[in-house]
Amino acid sequence: MTASQGGFAIGFESRPWRSDPDQSASRRQRLTARGPYQAAVPARIADLPVRVGAEVQAEAEDAVREITRFDAEVGALAARRAEVEGEDVATELAPLAAVLLRTESASSSEIEGVTAGARALALAAIEAKAGPNAQLVTANVVAMRRAVELADQISVESILAAHDALLAGHEYAAPGRLRTTQVWIGSNAISPHAASFVPPHHARVEDAMRDLIAFVVRVDLPVLVHCAIAHAQFETIHPFNDGNGRVGRTLVHAMLRRSDVTRRLTVPVSAGLLTDTAAYFDALTAYRDGDVEPIVQQFVSASFRAVGNGRQLVAELEQVYDGWTDRLASRRGSAARRLLPHLLNQPAVTVAHAQAATGVALSAAQRAVEQLAAAGIVDPVGTGRRNRVWLAQEVIDALDAFAERVGRRG
């Protein structure tokens, strides 16, 4: 049986349901919530054969090559800048890698309806006043980084670590723990009876996750096909009370790093998925019916869009950086010059953050920020002088333009 003929299709089982007598509900809702409900039973996929059409597989391989090329291009760009600035390559690469990671985290969060603009994220990153959405996206950055760092040892435990980083402090989500209750998707009903999808009963989750990991560590599958199916299976298992989509997309990046498709960057694949979320969710439904090709096609299209938009973002940030170096009179190696790469990654700073980034005395950090302000590179936020925040608006504009290009359209 091929994958497209149903090998990956879910089954169903009947489970008893006990209504909460104290829960407020209409008579219709209470009648709907009576009796047993149907929960999904995920296929065991660890050793399943995976077959997709030749055209889809060829496109997936082209997408992987494009991701790898983009990763190498940014690495070469950092190397050229390092030679000019007299810095090491890692120092020059870090800001671009970090900004791409943040755009991926923001896009992944927006798929789940958690939206925060570039300015709010920049302020949240320095613990300036920020709303709850910005804080959640900032936590997603940490979760994404945690997953990629553990790419060589993908396991249930490493996935739990990413979830813990994402939702630490949000006890309703049981951060870092597999769920112990039934969850359901696509309905505000008081029970799973009227939901559009009911993931497996929690008693099945741990075994299903072990099976998924056995699939993830296989080495016989085309990379993007492998990633897409693993992601869809993760979303089908839905192992957590909350954060499943965001953690499920960190898994994709861990697998890309593990396969050496990416070595330096987190390519903003979620930004590509965000463009048409309806097609993405439809593809997950098709996967649960046993057809793997739609979700593979979604990741192929998303990868091409991600690389195209990522290239444009990097080019715009390089243009901003070149303009800064032309306008800043400070000598090479000065604290003000050393702050410039930091501003690409973190366009909001205080003097204290400038001191930490450059390692100079507080008075020298103050002078560096003042030099950047005099050159029109940063502007003060607000009128207060105590713990003043300075913002690099050109970077904010480039990040907002990226978000506009990839904005949700489906």
The pLDDT of residue 2: 38
> Other C-beta atoms within 10 Å of 55: how many?
10
31 in any annotated domain: no
pLDDT for the residue 299 = 98
CATH code at position 64:
1.10.3290.10
- Using the CB atoms, write b or e for 167-205: b if 16+ within 10 Å: beeeeebbbbebbeebbbeeeeebbbbbbebbbbbbebb
- Residue 133 included in any domain: yes
388: domain CATH number is: 1.10.10.10
Last residue of one domain, picked from the residues 310, 345, 363? 310
Q: Quote the CA–CA distance of 179 and 35 in Å, as a whole number.
A: 23
233 shares its domain with 272: yes
* Residue 186: per-residue pLDDT: 80
* Token code pair at residue 42: 């995920």
Report d(CA 334, CA 364) in Å as an integer: 10
Cβ neighbour number for residue 383 with a 10 Å cutoff: 6
Q: Which residue, 257, 276, 310, sits at the end of a domain?
A: 310
Is the pTM for the entire model greater than 0.75?
A: yes
Please, is 26 exposed, middle or buried when counting C-beta atoms within 10 Å of its C-beta (0-12, 13-18, 19+)? exposed
177 and 282 part of one domain: yes
- Answer yes or no: is 323 within a domain: no
Same domain, 296 and 347: no
- Shared domain for 129 and 229, answered yes or no, is yes
Q: What is the pLDDT of residue 21?
A: 58
pLDDT tens for each residue of 294-331: 999 999 999 999 999 999 999 999 999 999 999 998 77
What the block records as the tokens of 145 is: 């980084």
Q: Are residues 184 and 259 located together in one domain of the fold?
A: yes
Spell out the alpha helix ranges (H) of 261-350. Answer: 269-274, 277-288, 293-327, 335-345
Note whether 292 and 389 are same-domain residues. no
Q: Domain range holding 283?
A: 3-21+36-310
pLDDT for 93 equals: 76
In a domain, 318, yes or no: no
Please indicate, yes or no, whether residues 293 and 377 belong to a single structural domain of this protein.
no
Q: How many CB atoms within 10 Å of residue 136?
A: 21
Instruction: Report the domain count for the chain.
Output: 2
**Residues across the chain:** 410
Do the domain assignments include residue 322? no
Q: Which residue ranges of the chain lie beneath pLDDT 50?
A: 1-5, 410
Nearest to 97 by CA among 70, 125, 69: 70
CA distance linking residue 47 with residue 77, whole number of Å: 41
pLDDT digits (tens, 9 = 90+) for 187-213: 677 789 889 999 999 999 999 999 999
Q: Across the strands, what pairs with 14? A: 38
Lookup result for tokens 């949700």: 408
The neighbour count for residue 384, using CB atoms within 10 Å, is 9
Residue 317 lies in a domain: no
59 and 170 inside one domain: yes
Residues 73 and 215 in one domain: yes
Could you tell me if 253 and 344 lie in one domain?
no
- The reported pLDDT for the residue numbered 304 is 96
Contact 139, 109 (CB under 8 A): no
Give the integer Cα–Cα distance in Å for 221 and 160: 25
The per-residue pLDDT for 1 is 34
Helix, strand, or coil here: 381?
A: strand
- Looking at the structure, tell me whether residues 217 and 304 fall in a common domain: yes
Locate tokens 């096609």: which residue? Answer: 297
Q: Domain ends where: 280, 310, 340?
A: 310
Buried b or exposed e, range 219-229, using 16+ CB within 10 angstroms:
eebbbbbbbbb
Closest CA to 260 of 153, 152, 154: 152
Contact 192, 29 (CB under 8 A): no
Asked, for residue 382, whether it belongs to a domain, the answer is yes
Coil vs helix vs strand at 386: coil
Residues 363 and 220 in one domain: no
Do the domain assignments include residue 345?
Answer: yes
Using DSSP, state whether 191 is helix, strand or coil: coil
Please check whether residue 166 is in contact with residue 139, taking contact to mean a CB–CB distance below 8 angstroms. yes
